[in-house]
Amino acid sequence: MADIIQLLPDNIANQIAAGEVIQRPASAVKELLENAVDAGATNIQLIVNDAGKSLVQVIDNGKGMSETDARMSFERHATSKIKAIDDLFHIKTMGFRGEALASIAAVAQVELKTRKPEAELGTYIEIENSVVVKQEPCAAPAGTSICMKNVFFNVPARRNFLKSNPSELRHIVDEFIRVALSFPAIFFSLTSNGQQVFHLEAGSLKQRVIQILGNQYAAKLVNVKEETDYMNIYGFVGKPDTARKTRGEQYFFVNNRFIRSAYLNHAVMTAFDQMIAKDSYPLYVLFIDLDPSQIDINVHPTKQEIKFEDEKIIYAFVQAAVKHALAQFSIAPSLDFSLNAEIQQLDAVSKPFTNDQQESVTASSSLFKTFTQKHQAHFIEPTEKSELKHWKDFFTGKEQEKTAQFTYDKATVQHTGQHEMLPVSTSKKIIPGAHLLQLHNTYIIAPTQSGFLLVHQQLAHERILYDRFSLATHGKKIATQQSLFPVTVELPAQDAALLHDLLPDLLSLGYLVEPFGNNAFVIQGTPADVNHGNEKHTIELLVEQFKHFSSDIKFSKREKLVRCMARQQAIKAGQSLSQNEMETVVEELFLSNTANVTPTGSPTYIEFKEDYLDRMFSR
């Protein structure tokens, strides 16, 4: 019987391996930028065309490569960073596994020009499908220029899975920002299709953060800086008033490497406890420096997920550092003129928080003591895991369904399932011309022949708008009313790329938005049935909601947009409605084929039948 197991040819093996490292043009951007940083460059330029599909070029003024090194750099697992196994546990550079250039060469056409400062001539290498097509001496500036052209040209199936240009450009901008934030002392620029998107002069970390996030944050950043024998934490968190309803700008770096960590994110969230709303997310750019032997950065191909030797200590440090920074920020006394005059005179309000008082408060915390004293890093006292016991609750994304409760005197009867969802056909049971009642400016009570309906006005309106917008995106466009005074909105680069992608779908929903310059847009028209005057906030909030709406791949871009718009424009709980408005909500709700639930599955109303009401009163 013939043997059936055989080794894969090199070109196929390389393409399979490349899939781990180069998933999209942004993956190559990350690897090439990190290589430029490792080369000691002080000036790094990124140039992309067609969102990186036709060209990704990185030009740096680093130390360059010799002719032999330039050729060797494209071999798999060829690296200058690791010579012995111990080196793997003391990694201080960005790239180290020697897979980046080999992976790029396996799925693209690559051109490399490089010259060491002391050499007279540089080296030019052209590679296609892992094969060296040309290698020759050339004139070149000191440093390295590497071009990746026509990514996935030899793997058409992979190329077909790339998203639209605005979507891919957004990923490139994200990777660019992460590297640029890590190294504020280096000049970075990003040019897309000949238009400069970023021009980031070398400077301090705060200057770099403001350059990227926007000047509006200049006075809204709180400095975080704590140094211990075990680890250092530094960076910035946004003041509580910068918190957003959706996940905003949140960056964690360990030894200057961007990482994703829901665990450490939770540490920051708990530090903001009681300072921001529970459904809000703070802004932060935080750097952790610690001994490389305390972490494993090789657990994931993109190196964005790492393992800590003792993550509980890291969690406690991050939480304490952010709490301390926020405490420092809020020690200045302020007067609230809406307070009663007698309250204004209380010591807690009128007298400043002295240094002695501050020291006595911080010193009383055992966590703070171990955090600041030398050689006490591993002696944080256990407090029944008080900092950690609720962290898993943070990941329960969906709100628990609230059961209706009715209280009579001291007895509470819990209503947990005896209600029935109304099928659409029973909507005729609503008594025609009956007077509707609004309860707590949130619920509409509508009498029926056999009881009453309790309609949640916001969820019901969300269902109505979702159906209307879905219809609009599938052909029946919503009419647009031209604005007499068009409004201009300016967005960060990554948000601008996203909005570019949404413009056609927004037009079907009645919003005429046109590009205006680099990252600016002009709102020329809005839906005819929407109140005017708040267009700029509407677009900004829409982009923010869309960015973080759902990572679930089952939702298309259009579906996400429709859900965001329905949620955003629905009348809110707490809003007073007239009799006519309540009637309109109830009537339009029951025109839907799925009137009983919102797009996310929450009930829009509950029916209370007469026989059940009788049983509640023991009748």
| pTM check: above 0.75 | no
- The DSSP-derived string for 139-204 is ---SEEEEEEESTTTT-HHHHHT---HHHHHHHHHHHHHHHHHH-TTSEEEEEETTEEEEEE-S--
**Residue 73: CB atoms within 10 Å:** 22
pLDDT of residue 330: 66
End-to-end CA distance of the chain: 83
Would you identify the CATH topology of the domain 213-333+341-393? Answer: Ribosomal Protein S5; domain 2 (3.30.230)
Residues in the chain: 619
What is the 3-state composition of the chain as percent helix, strand, coil, each rounded to the nearest 5? 40, 25, 40
| CA angle 65–68–74, rounded 5-degree value | 80
Residue-wise DSSP of 213-271: H-GGGTTSEEEEEEE-SSEEEEEEEE-GGG-BSS---EEEEETTEEE--HHHHHHHHHH
The residue written with tokens 């996940």 in the block is 247
- Which one-letter amino acid corresponds to residue 452? F
The architecture in CATH of the region 10-203 reads 2-Layer Sandwich (3.30)
Asked if 239 contacts 280 with a C-beta cutoff of 8 angstroms, the reply is no
What is the identity of the amino acid at 565? M
Residues 6+ apart with CB under 8 A from 536: 487, 488, 489, 523
**Residue 308 and residue 295 in contact, taking contact as beta carbons nearer than 8 Å:** yes
Residue 612 CA to residue 619 CA, distance in Å, equals 10
Span 411-606 CATH architecture: 2-Layer Sandwich (3.30)
Give the orientation angle of helix 493-508 with respect to helix 457-473, to 10 degrees: 80
Q: In 10 A of CB 268, how many CB atoms? A: 22
> How do strand 43-49 and strand 187-192 relate by DSSP bridges?
parallel
Rounded to whole angstroms, the Cα distance separating 335 from 352 reads 11
Give the model confidence (pLDDT) of 145-170 as tens digits.
999 999 988 888 888 888 888 888 88
Calpha distance 65→458 (Å, rounded): 63
Q: What is the pLDDT of residue 359?
A: 57
Q: Where in the chain is the domain with CATH 3.30.230.10?
A: 213-333+341-393
264: tokens are: 């450490």
Instruction: Locate CATH 3.30.1370.100 in the chain.
Output: 411-606
CB 96 within 8 A of CB 81: yes
**Element (DSSP H or E) covering residue 207:** helix 205-213
Query: Looking only at Cα atoms, what is the longest distance across the chain?
Result: 101
What is the tens place of the pLDDT at every residue in 239-262? 888 887 767 688 999 888 888 888
**Weakly modelled stretches of the chain, pLDDT under 50:** 96-97, 331-345, 349-350, 361, 364, 374-375, 377-428
Pick from 480, 488, 489: which is nearest to 509 by CA?
480
Cβ pair 153, 18 in contact under 8 A: no
Q: CATH 3.30.565.10 residue ranges in the chain? A: 10-203
pLDDT of residue 363: 52
